[in-house]
Amino acid sequence: MNGSKEITRRNFMKTTGAGLFLTGLYCTLPMPAWALTTSPGIEQRTPKSRYDFTIGYSPVQIDGREGTATAINGTVPGPLLHLREGGDVTLNVTSRLMDTEHASIHWHGILVPFRMDGVPGVNFNGIQPGETYEYRYRVKQAGTYWYHSHSRFQEQTGAYGPLIIEPKNGEPFDYDRDYPVVLSDWSFEDPETIFRHINLMGHYYNFQRRTIWDFFEDVGERGFADPISERMAWGKMRMSPVDLADVTAYTYTYLMNGHSPDMNWTAIFNPGETVRLRFINASATTNYDVRIPGLDMEVVMADGKAVRPVSVHEFRIGVAETYDVLVRPMKDQAFTIFAESLDRSGYGRGTLAPEPGMKAPVPALRPRPVRRLEDIGMGGMLHGNMKDMSHSQMDHGSKASLDDPRIPGPNGPTPFKPEKSRSNVEMVITNPTYRLDEPGIGLGKDGWRVLTYDDLVSIEPQPYSATVDREMTINITANMERYMFSFDGKKFTQHPCPYLFRHNERLRLFLVNHTMMEHPIHLHGMWMQLENGADKLPFKHTILTKPGEVLSVLITPIEKGDWAFHCHLLYHMEAGMFQVVRVA
């Protein structure tokens, strides 16, 4: 333990505040080289087999406001971790956070021995203040990934960065330039304060709620009966059709490679070149809709794994997902990289340009979407059915969905029935449906081609058995009014034991979303292959589940041990939507 570096967040803020005043050191966010404005990209860099990380507090300034970040090697985002497939890597991580219980780094989407996965309380004890933990593993894959802290809210305050792995046999596509595009959400509020606010009032940061004028507008368009029935239905569920995000631009500044929209991170190209953009959603709780007006995008990788190229104008990237796209700007002009938050409260923005300093028009935010009851599988509550629908009667299960041939397996998900003694489940979806062919709420009505999960066809080898050995179902559940999030109606602390996976079995896992929000569900330590009807199923480490949706994935647990399984919305995870999977 190095006494000279023992410092708490409070002391750091006092010290750096005085230092900034005396020295006039008004830097912006401390940036790694790969994320600098007018970045050179990562093409020239060489993969390494050893990295030393130090997690500590660092001053930040965004758009004139000063704050304190949890930085890695003094920067936000952290350093670019550049590895080579097939190599052995050593990563030494030291914590200088003297006022925290522990720190950690999780290598998101990377297949590692469970002791190297970096989740405190699940597969190691965390990195104690002043101590160093050595991660060592063999790199078994290639592609675009990222890393982040798995300790409380350190990820929200800056402890994340990109992780790029060079394939041992060359890339499956050609390109001239290569840029990571790390999306995140920054707040000058303490995350503990944010968590307390949304626990006390779930819509604390939502200033886009419906008004009486919206009601009159609906009556004018649809008559009186349906708007009245809808509002009574939402009221009965104690929900709002515009609860799209827990935390919004009211407190967030949306960042692209650590830059605010006004800072305008810029990637350089020469007209006619092919540019690879590696989008990584490192946000704590923001799902983004990404487009580059004037350019088609070709999606070539999802979650680090190659897919058959898909030409799109827009795609939604859930928290913790990654997408690699190729663009081919032919004109000598600038293009805006526009990442709009799902709730339309704000955006991240960067620029593709032939020269530094060039800008392109920034699109206006679109109107925030409004959910319909049909969107969450509760359409039966309209037209007089509502009065017969109590919470206890909403559990008729998913029989209707079993008639959909796109939902595989003879058994399907078992109808879910919450324990009546618990208040963790506010609603049970009566008719969960297949939604992998839908782009998601607020998308698909602009005349643009929007990516759906159904578009993803893997071009990777398929190493696992096609024969399913076993099926199981996990229900995604919540009581949003009380800010309680859970799996199968139980918060993490209420589950009696881990979910059990058998080593090397071929498991079909159904996920049923019984809430009215999107949840990016992440499974550590193994791939989920999404059953979307493709001949070669795409590999995913994180799946953005839609409200009222049922989907299935095939899993082969290849490493024994305990693994985390959770919603990657940071505050949902902390509120209980977390469980341990034991592979034995």
The DSSP element (H or E) to which 165 belongs, if any, is strand 160-166
**Residues 337/330, Cβ–Cβ less than 8 Å:** no
Predicted confidence (pLDDT) at residue 20 exceeds the cutoff of 50: no
Query: Considering the chain, what is the average pLDDT of its residues?
Result: 89
The pLDDT of residue 380: 66
The pLDDT of residue 240: 83
> b or e along 434-472 (b: 16 or more beta carbons within 10 Å of the residue's beta carbon)?
bbbebbbbbbeeeeebbbbbbbbbbebeeebeeeeeebe
Give me the percent of the chain exceeding a pLDDT of 70: 89
The pLDDT of residue 377: 75
- Cα separation values, 329 from 180, 356, 552, Å: 17, 16, 38
The pLDDT of residue 382: 59
The pLDDT of residue 389: 43
Residue type for position 453: Y
Predicted confidence (pLDDT) at residue 374 exceeds the cutoff of 70: yes
Predicted confidence (pLDDT) at residue 46 exceeds the cutoff of 90: no
pLDDT tens per residue, range 494-535: 999 999 999 999 999 999 999 999 999 999 999 999 999 999
The pLDDT of residue 393: 41
Predicted confidence (pLDDT) at residue 210 exceeds the cutoff of 90: no
**Residues 293/363, Cβ–Cβ less than 8 Å:** yes
Predicted confidence (pLDDT) at residue 143 exceeds the cutoff of 90: yes
The two tokens of residue 328 are: 């081919």
Predicted confidence (pLDDT) at residue 344 exceeds the cutoff of 60: yes
H-type alpha helices, 405-529: none
Question: How much is the average pLDDT of 258-262?
Answer: 97
Predicted confidence (pLDDT) at residue 192 exceeds the cutoff of 80: yes
Question: How much is the average pLDDT of 86-103?
Answer: 97
The pLDDT of residue 402: 57
The pLDDT of residue 416: 82
- Cα separation values, 542 from 160, 507, 528, Å: 17, 17, 8
User: Which residue matches tokens 């592609």?
Assistant: 143
Predicted confidence (pLDDT) at residue 17 exceeds the cutoff of 60: no
- Return the bridge partners of 136, or none: 90
Per-residue confidence at 281, pLDDT binned at 50, 70, 90?
A: very high
Predicted confidence (pLDDT) at residue 539 exceeds the cutoff of 80: yes
Listed range (43-47, 399-403, 536-540) with the worst mean pLDDT: 399-403
Give me the percent of the chain exceeding a pLDDT of 90: 74
pLDDT tens per residue, range 387-435: 444 443 444 344 445 578 888 876 667 778 887 677 789 888 878 899 9
Report which of residues 480 and 532 the model is more confident about. Answer: 532
Per-residue confidence at 41, pLDDT binned at 50, 70, 90?
A: confident
Name the burial class of residue 331, with classes exposed (0-12), middle (13-18) and buried (19+) by CB atoms within 10 angstroms of its CB. Answer: exposed
pTM of the entire predicted model = 0.92
- Return the bridge partners of 341, or none: 288
The pLDDT of residue 399: 46
